[in-house]
Amino acid sequence: MLEKTVVELSEALKLRKVSSVELTRAYLEKIGTKSKKLNTYITVCDELALTQAKMADQRLAKGEKNPLLGIPIAHKDIFCTKGIKTTCGSKMLENFVSPYNATVVSKLNKAGMVTLGKTNMDEFAMGSSNETSYFGPVKNPWDTEKVPGGSSGGSAAAVAADLCAIATGTDTGGSIRQPASFCGVTGLKPSYGRISRWGMIAFASSLDQAGPISKSAEDAAIIMNAMAGSDDLDSTSIRAPVDDYTASINDSLHGIKIGVPKQHLTEGLSIEVEESIRQALQVYEKLGATIKEIDLPNNHLSVSAYYVIAPAEASANLSRYDGVRYGFRCSQPTDLEDMYKRTRSEGFGSEVKRRIMIGTYALSAGYYDAYYQKAQKIRRLIKNDFDAAFKTVDVIVGPTSPHTAFGLGTTTDPVKMYLEDIYTIAVNLAGLPGISIPAGLVGKLPIGMQIIGKDFAEAKLLNVAHKYQKETDWHKMKPSLDFGD
Amino acid sequence: MGFNKLELTKVAQLARLQVTESEIEDVSERISEILRLIDQMQSINTDSIAPMSHPFDGTQVLRSDVITEQNSRDELQTLAPSVEKGLFLVPKVLE
């Protein structure tokens, strides 16, 4: 039962084949036996989950037909949850209990979803391997010697290991799509502003976006119907109408034009990943798509521009952690200055401190034009490249990551780690939607394919992803969780 | 643009972070490497390009100037490391 999709579970709940309480208990039990090894959850909320499940069962008994009602979900520990710890993977917020819910959490609670717990993540979402978490790295369920990707690694691993039916994540430079790729699940980063950022702990405010990590594109479409939309509490949420993301999911792909960036199939890409993407393109050709090579000439500058813009915004956002109002405070400060410095130095991990310092440097007197403004100009060039490409194609397809999941502890050089996101970062800079779906296996490790769409074209992306999943079984592949326990 | 130990000390002070003597070499070397990656941006001319600060060149949304939030000071102060009589306590600033 636990391996089923939201669509299947919803049907079983409606037909009373299982109750939400039974389902919730089963997930909690599996979390109890399997999550420790994988380190997917930072907090498990048994009590809340069972209360919510009971309420969902009552609503189901009254004949309510909402497809998310009674479905157990895990939230990335970056979303504030009232009365439950929200750590953001950091010592700084180790004991922080939010006084309110993030809008995403409120909306999904209202839809009747059951919160199983909060998933592990890179500290303040800064990382591509989940190794920067204060609570220890998450292990990849397909191979526990490998990373799950990051920063939403706990969410991706929990979905892959059937430790929840679906999960939330956030994506600033690839943090939904890359772990989805490494864990063999579906991960959607919507357009910037499509989903409210209220109550989502800020990393880089012009890039951060919430989205679902799921077992299928269809499940992602269902939950997007509840997550998307403008919010008075987030002035950057987009005031554009929200599609019914399930309505067009079965549309024919006949005549659709798919662009393949030549920059995404170049050196550095593993042969196996390239081969899988080429095979996936053949599937699309069979479905009536035409494939065309496109040019994204400034893609190679995306990582450079991102590592100015994201740290600059982070240095401002993280200045709030000063030991005064909430979060960690160092012991016995001698004066105010000492309190600020030791609180922040002891409360933040080394990657977070590194990015704060890069951001501070880039914004400091004398360097603003050379760094921050230059990066914003490159950002414009990257957006222009996509605009030009979308004049001739409907969607863009390529790999999500240059290779499959890498070994835990093998990438200690920050620059090498940053280049992991070479195919995903430009999408955030341009504010576009992107989805990663499973498209093959190398040995026992999954390969992810990224599909990028025009502004607010989430419905088209989900349609293109769903049609592929109707033709292939990669998204149904499961890791063996035989850890010898 | 290099990043030497002096600059590291200055930036750490601006960011209110401590870098210990034993970390200073490693941290400045790491940041120098990252700045070399960032400096790849300088390889192209962007003189005629307008900077982009928002993906859709969005502008700030306005609403009428009315109070929408309740005062929840007491609830919020339960999260603070140290409070007294509705005030947040910090180490003494003035003697």
Band (pLDDT 50/70/90 cuts) for residue B61 is: confident
Look at residue A384 and tell me if it is in a domain.
no
Are residues A319 and A237 both part of a single domain?
no
pLDDT of A95 reads 96
How much is the ipTM here? 0.95
pLDDT of A240 reads 85
Look at residue A394 and tell me if it is in a domain.
no
Are residues A70 and A207 both part of a single domain?
yes
Query: Closest Cα of chain B to A344: distance in Å?
Result: 6
How large a percentage of chain B has pLDDT more than 90?
69
Q: What dihedral do alpha carbons A9, A11, A16, A19 form, nearest 10°?
A: 20
Tell me the C-alpha distance between A87 and A340, whole Å: 19
Q: Which of A337, A339, A360 has its CB closest to that of B14?
A: A360
Q: Do A357 and B31 touch (CB under 8 A)?
A: yes
The answer to whether B50 faces chain A, any CB pair under 8 Å, is: yes
**pLDDT tens, residue by residue, A122-160:** 999 999 999 999 999 999 999 999 999 999 999 999 999
The answer to whether A193 faces chain B, any CB pair under 8 Å, is: yes
Chain A residue whose CA is closest to B79:
A326
Chain A residue whose CA is closest to B2:
A361
Rounded to the nearest 5°, which phi and psi values hold at A333? -65, 145
Q: Can you list the domains of chain B with their CATH numbers?
A: 5-43 (1.10.20)
Are residues A193 and A47 both part of a single domain?
yes
Secondary structure (3-state) at A437: strand
Query: Closest Cα of chain B to A44: distance in Å?
Result: 21
Tell me the C-alpha distance between A176 and A78, whole Å: 13
pLDDT of A31 reads 97
Are residues A215 and A348 both part of a single domain?
no
- The 10 Å Cβ neighbour count of residue A467 is 22
Query: Closest Cα of chain A to B95: distance in Å?
Result: 11
**Assigned token pair, A46:** 């048994």
pLDDT of A83 reads 94
Look at residue A434 and tell me if it is in a domain.
no
Examine the residue annotation and report whether A350 is marked as an active-site residue of this protein.
Answer: no
Q: Do B75 and A99 touch (CB under 8 A)?
A: yes
Look at residue A478 and tell me if it is in a domain.
no
Are residues A47 and A124 both part of a single domain?
yes
The answer to whether A99 faces chain B, any CB pair under 8 Å, is: yes
Which CATH number does the domain housing residue A84 bear?
Answer: 3.90.1300.10
Instruction: Give the DSSP H or E segment for A214.
Output: strand A209-214
Q: Do A353 and B90 touch (CB under 8 A)?
A: no
Look at residue A175 and tell me if it is in a domain.
yes
pLDDT of A484 reads 55
* Percent of chain A as helix, strand, coil, to the nearest 5: 40, 15, 40
pLDDT of A483 reads 73
Choosing from A332, A356, A377, the residue where a domain stops is: A377
**pLDDT tens, residue by residue, A186-239:** 999 999 999 999 999 999 999 999 999 999 999 999 999 999 999 999 999 998
Query: Closest Cα of chain A to B24: distance in Å?
Result: 12
Are residues A209 and A356 both part of a single domain?
no
pLDDT of A199 reads 98
Are residues A329 and A242 both part of a single domain?
no
Band (pLDDT 50/70/90 cuts) for residue B93 is: confident
Beta bridge pairs of residue A449 = A399, A437
pLDDT of B92 reads 87
Choosing from A198, A223, A254, the residue where a domain stops is: A254
Tell me the C-alpha distance between A116 and A133, whole Å: 20
The answer to whether B87 faces chain A, any CB pair under 8 Å, is: no
Which among A90, A128, A129, A151 is annotated as catalytic? A151
- How many helices (H) and strands (E) would you count in chain A? 15, 11
Examine the residue annotation and report whether A151 is marked as an active-site residue of this protein.
Answer: yes
Q: Do B16 and A383 touch (CB under 8 A)?
A: no
Kindly report the pTM of this predicted structure.
Answer: 0.97
The answer to whether B24 faces chain A, any CB pair under 8 Å, is: no
**Structural domain count, chain A:** 2
Beta carbons of A255 and A222 less than 8 angstroms apart: no
Note which residues in 52-81 of chain B have CB less than 8 A from chain A. Answer: 52-56, 58, 60-61, 63, 72, 75-76, 79-81
Containing structural domain, residue A348:
300-377
Beta bridge pairs of residue A209 = A171
Are residues A221 and A365 both part of a single domain?
no
What average pLDDT is seen over chain B?
90
Look at residue A234 and tell me if it is in a domain.
yes
Band (pLDDT 50/70/90 cuts) for residue B2 is: low
Q: In what side-by-side order are the strands of the sheet with A72-76?
A: A41-44, A114-119, A72-76, A166-171, A209-214, A186-189, A434-442, A445-452, A395-399, A257-261, A290-294
Are residues A240 and A321 both part of a single domain?
no
Look at residue A283 and tell me if it is in a domain.
no
pLDDT of A193 reads 96
Tell me the C-alpha distance between A280 and A449, whole Å: 8
Are residues A238 and A332 both part of a single domain?
no
Question: What is the Cα gyration radius of chain B?
Answer: 22
Look at residue A305 and tell me if it is in a domain.
yes
Regions of chain A with pLDDT less than 50: none
Q: Which residues, including other chains, have CB under 8 Å from residue A371's CB and lie 6 or more apart? A: A308, A312, A361, A362, A363, B38
With beta carbons under 8 A apart, name residues in chain A contacting B39: 304
Are residues A205 and A334 both part of a single domain?
no
Are residues A203 and A332 both part of a single domain?
no
**pLDDT tens, residue by residue, B4-47:** 889 999 999 999 999 999 999 999 999 999 999 999 999 999 99
